[in-house]
Each structure stands twice: as structure tokens, then as C-alpha cells.
Chains A and B, each alone.
Chain A
């Protein structure tokens, strides 16, 4: 299919959308979270209800990806009113349809957050949960059917790919990304444009693009929700990257624990190939790019880029010393670009709106928005996207609705096992790469777990150390032995058998492991320990030298 054929389809789809005979669009969230709350049943019942009432002609019912407030599922969103009903029970559907659609009287008691707000918002967009957010990577998640490429096309899908193929040179694409000042969303925050440029500069007969969807941090589900909610966005980002660096083959490495994300991404690949936006001679040009899915097999270390490459090659996922960096010698020794799912999801808006537009969002050193997975002892857990630099307080209290059961905020954990805990006195910290590092934590991929007074911080440190000990691949000694030693010492303190010497040993070991480990897993494994020691030293002190 060439460019003209595609544009004909897009025009036809857009015309169809504009002359939409449907007066209402009912979206049922079918993200993995809502599915486990029973949303598929709700979708079926809702379709039946619409049919028995003879409303098929004016009411469209679709299944979408994640809408955000995962804790409140199953969710039904009524458009154009933007009324969201929460915790929908199949027995309520007839009542909701009757009141909302026919009588035009929303049932306030069943609306989103009705159980916790004095008055729920009839238009959910007005609710602080949504109002304070700025969706770029998550845009269209929860509005479109992720299993239909046509839905994506109507919302400017593959427009950015068309633009780069026909209007921009690879150098210009890279310049645009550099201008956006976007930093990698996988955790380390390396400037995306620079990464692309370095792969572009290496001359090779074959280059690869890899999408890192091995979201192994416990407490993080951003990548899962993006892959489930808008897979084409990620695919388009990968294709643009491939064009910019000169790659013809890509791999999406997705966790085996995410079967729905794998399924939807594979559907997306199939549809994109059929439409000619993926495969050979994309849109009739000389550019060819093919993507394959590789399923992860449950190893946290495979989120590290060299380990991920080994895993795609079918080997044990052990990391390699860098340099050489994958940009020079990656998959099968060829120059390879690896970016996170969320990074790829941010590419098309940059191409469509310009790098300058993106660079003006967020803070000077951390441009754009960041998706966070809110979980733990918070009222509204779920998926949110806010401009970089939003304060932690705003996220926890304004968006997240505060601490569950009226408890007291004790700490927020970011960055998973590689990150740290932010105590209450730093609630006003701006969530950006550098501010978090200065507090001894990291941005990480975006997991944000809120803890209240019931959490024991020494045990939290022990929990993460146990994770790192289990997940250490065993290749280098500092990580293999060091995490085990630190875990045993932490266990000893948790059992109230520790001494001040043990704490001193922990501090000493932490530095050695941090500085001498081969890869990021070991180098960051001491972070939860060090940050709890820094901010919650009294909890350690109260448990040592008791005998």
C-alpha cells in the first residue's frame, strides 16, 4: 500500500467519524486491572443492554485500554458527557443506561469517586484526578479501541511516520528529538536524541531497534498499560526511530507476565503490516522496517540493556561490561538502539508538534511529562501522567486523594528496587530526574508506592534487598555475594538481633557493591538501604543493640 492508499483510508475513516451516526460512545475499560475486576463481563452485558433497548444505531460500545483509576474498576465512560461510572456491577447496568442515556440524569452514587468525594463530578474531566494530569504518552489510552488500527488512524495515527518519511531527513528527525530534550523513560534518563545520534553515526549493513517492555520493577505498570491501551503509538515510535538511525529490523521485548500486552501488540503489528505502515517499502518508499515480539521469561536483570540483548539472542540474560555500548555493538554485534516503551510512546507527539513544544513542558532539565503508577496505601491508585516537576504532595494528595483510611503519609518509594524512599519532610520535592537523585532515590520507570505509618522501613529495605539478591544474575561477585550479605544483615536487624557494627558493615558494603558491580542492578541495589538509612535512621537505631 502506498501513501495515497493510506490517506484515502484515513479520509474515509475520518469522514465516517465526523458523520458519526452514533450520538453516544460508551467506553468500557479493558486494561488488565479492570479485566481482573470483571470488566469483560460488564462489556458483554452493556452490549446486550444496548441491543435489547434497540439503541445500536445511536450508541457505540467499545472496549478500551487503561483509563487510569484502576482501583475503581470496572469502569464505563459515557461520551460525549464524559461521565465515568465506577465499580460497575452487571446488575447495575440496566439502571445506569436508563438514567444516564435515556433520562439524562446521572446516578451520582455510582459515579467515579462517589464513595470518597462529598460530591462526585458528573464530567470526570473536572475531577482533580484528571484535571491535574497532562496526558501525552497516555493520550488516547482509554478512548480508542487498541485492537483497531482505524481508531488510531482517526486520532492522527501514523501521521508522524508519514511526515518523517516524506518531509524529514534522518538528521532532521534526530535534531527534532534532541531539541525536545526528552530523556529516556526507562529510568536512567539518558537524553533520547543523543542516544539516537550515536547509533546513527555508526556505519553498518544492519542496525536494530529494540523496545524495552521488560517492566520488572515491582510496583510499576506504566509500560503494560501503554502497550495494552495504545500499541500502535509504540509501534509508530519504533518505526520513526528505525528511519532516523537506519535500522530495518526491530524487536519488542515484553514481559511474559503481560499476556494481554503481548496479544495486543501482536495484533497491532499484523494490522500495521496489512496497511503498509510496517514491513517492506513502507508507504511506497525505500524504507523497510519489520518488528517481532520477544517474550521475556521472568528475569529482572533483563531490563538492563546488554542482558536484554543476550536474552533476545536466546541466551541466559547476563549483562556485559560497557563499553562497547549497544549503540556500537549490540544485538548480534550490530549497532542497536534500545528505548523504553514510554519513550517510544512520546515520539509521535514530538514529531507532530515539534521538539520545541515538548521542551517547554516540565522543567528545564527534565522536559515533558512522566507516567506514574500510583499504588500502595493511597485512595486512588492507578495510572497517571503529569508534567515533570509536579510536586510529590500534589500527586499524593490532589491526584491520589490522600492516604487510605485517613492514615498518615510516611514515605513514597520510587524507582523500585533501584530507587529509594522519600520521607514526609520532602513531600514538596519536584518529581524530576535530578531532584529525586538528590534525595537518594531515582525516577526509575515510574512506580510510585505510597506507605503509611504501618510500614516498617527496615523491613522495606530488607524486602528490596531480598528482591535484588534473588534477581542477581550471579555473573559478578560484588552483586552476587554483596546482596546476599546485605540481606542477611538486614534480616538480622529485622529480627532484633543486630548491633551497631552490623549497621556500619551495611554502610561499608553498600558503597563497595555500588561502585564495583558490573551492571545497573548491582550498582543500584544498595539504594533502598541507603535511602532508608538516610531518612529513617532512627528506625534502625531502635532495633539494634537490644541484647
Chain B
């Protein structure tokens, strides 16, 4: 049965279809396929999950339970720009919480949320492994080391104001 709202001509769908084919539609490749889908969409829309479940002959509940188990997967859009504050032990010792508080205050949102205009999403990471450079913040895939709260707010502003 065709899935509504998921045009087969969409290059992102083609990408997922190719990955499913490469993995021989094996159920054990589910996580790999979800990684591909999230890379393509930035998050995992419900209709994409339905598509994957039908292609792999897995119950939708099995796909959903796997997605909701892992922190890496998101069911919601993460925003046009993402700010990931590392709260690992080294960053914690060096004041990551103060940085997070300031970002939450300045942009009026909580970790895990996206601003109403979808411009900025803020998340926390358990540890990005940049402990030697704590505190660290990842802004749109780019790691910023030894940051101050002021510094990062300034950098975010530059991102969301720029076209």
C-alpha cells in the first residue's frame, strides 16, 4: 500500500531505498537505515518510519520502539541551526551548566526544544569526547572548544541572524 506524503521521487526517499536495498532488507540493519534516514531529513518523520517498517517487514511498533530508545534519533525537527552543549563530566566540572543556562535564558527555550520560528534548536550531549577542550559546544557540526557563555551566545546570534 502506498504511503501518503512520501513521494518516491524525493531524493531523500531514494537515498533510504538504496540503503535498504544495499542491506538486503534485513531487519538487523534497521539502525543503520535509521542513521541514513536521519542524515537525509535531519530527524525521523513518522511517514518515513512507516515506509521503513513496511520495506523491512517489521511491525511499526518495533521501529518506533527502537527509534525512541536511542538518544541519537529524533522524532522532531531539530531546527535550522543546532546548538549542542556537551554536559560530560569534564565540561560539567568546567561550568557547562552555566553556559546552558545562559543559552536557555537568551533564546527563551529549554534543552531539547526548538525556537517557534524553527531557527534554533538546543540540545545537550552526554559527552562528545572533546574532554581535553572543555567546555565544548557543537554549533552546526562545528566543535567550539573552551567556550564562554557570552562567546557562544554571540556565535549563535551571528548564525540565526545571517541569511
Contact = CB atoms under 8 A, between A and B. Distances in A.
Q: Do A and B come from one complex?
A: yes
Interface of A: 32-33, 35-37, 69-71, 73, 215-221, 224, 255-258, 294-300, 311-318, 373-377, 381-383, 413, 416, 447, 449, 451, 455, 463-464, 467, 471, 473
Contacts, number: 139
Nearest to B93: A376
B132 A221 contact: yes
A467 B127 CA distance: 11
B16 to A, nearest CB: 15
Contacts of B89: 218-219, 375-376, 413, 416, 447, 449, 463-464
Given A257-B125, A314-B27, A32 B130 contact: yes
A200 B16 CA distance: 39
B145 A36 contact: yes
Contact of B31 (A258, A297, A374): A297
A220 B71 contact: no
Interface in B26-68: 26-32, 34-35, 65-66
A416 B129 CA distance: 13
Contacts of A318: 69
> Which of the listed residues B34, B88, B94 has the most CB atoms from chain A within 10 Å of its own CB?
B88
A299 B70 contact: yes
Interface residues of B, number: 39
Interface string B91-133: 1111000000000000000000000000000000111111111
Interface string B63-85: 00110011111000000000000
A416 B93 CA distance: 13
A422 B35 CA distance: 39
7 contacts: A70-B130, A217-B127, A224-B129, A295-B35, A373-B131, A375-B93, A449-B131
B90 A219 contact: yes
B88 A297 contact: no
A447 B132 CA distance: 11
Nearest to B65: A316
Nearest to B127: A218
Contacts of A451: 93
A32 B131 CA distance: 11
> Which of the listed residues A294, A316, A382, A455 has the most CB atoms from chain B within 10 Å of its own CB?
A316
Given A218-B88, A218-B126, A219-B88, A314 B30 contact: yes
A375 B144 CA distance: 17
B17 interface: no
Contacts of A376: 89-90, 93-94, 134
Contact of A382 (B34, B94, B126, B132): B132
A36 B144 contact: yes
Contacts of B92: 218, 463
Contact of A297 (B34, B90, B133, B144): B34
Given A37-B145, A299-B70, A449-B90, A314 B130 contact: no
A33 B94 contact: no
Given A299-B71, A314-B28, A314-B30, A221 B35 contact: no
Nearest to A380: B132
B34 A71 contact: no
Interface of B: 26-32, 34-35, 65-66, 69-73, 87-94, 125-134, 136, 142-145
Contact of A36 (B29, B91, B93, B143): B143
B90 to A, nearest CB: 4
Contacts of A221: 129-132
Nearest to A474: B69
Contacts of B72: 256, 296-298
Given A297-B35, A375-B89, 16 more contacts: A35-B143, A36-B130, A36-B136, A36-B143, A256-B35, A295-B35, A297-B31, A298-B73, A314-B31, A373-B131, A375-B90, A375-B93, A376-B90, A376-B94, A416-B89, A449-B131
A255 to B, nearest CB: 8
B94 A377 contact: yes
Contact of B143 (A32, A255, A296, A464): A32
Nearest to B131: A375
Nearest to A452: B93
B134 A375 contact: yes
Contacts of A416: 89
A422 B144 CA distance: 30
Contact of B70 (A298, A373, A413): A298
8 A-B pairs closest in CB distance: A70-B132, A218-B88, A36-B143, A297-B70, A218-B127, A375-B90, A298-B71, A298-B72
A413 B131 CA distance: 13
A219 B131 contact: yes
Contact of A215 (B91, B129, B133, B143): B129
> Which of the listed residues B66, B87, B90 has the most CB atoms from chain A within 10 Å of its own CB?
B90
Contact of B133 (A71, A257, A299, A312): A71
A294 B144 CA distance: 27
Contacts of A298: 70-73, 126
A219 B131 CA distance: 6
B28 A257 contact: no
B155 to A, nearest CB: 13
A313 to B, nearest CB: 5
A294 B126 contact: no
Contacts of B65: 316
B88 A383 contact: no
B66 to A, nearest CB: 6
Contacts of B130: 32-33, 36, 70, 221
> Which of the listed residues B89, B128, B143 has the most CB atoms from chain A within 10 Å of its own CB?
B89
Contacts of B71: 297-299
B127 A316 contact: no
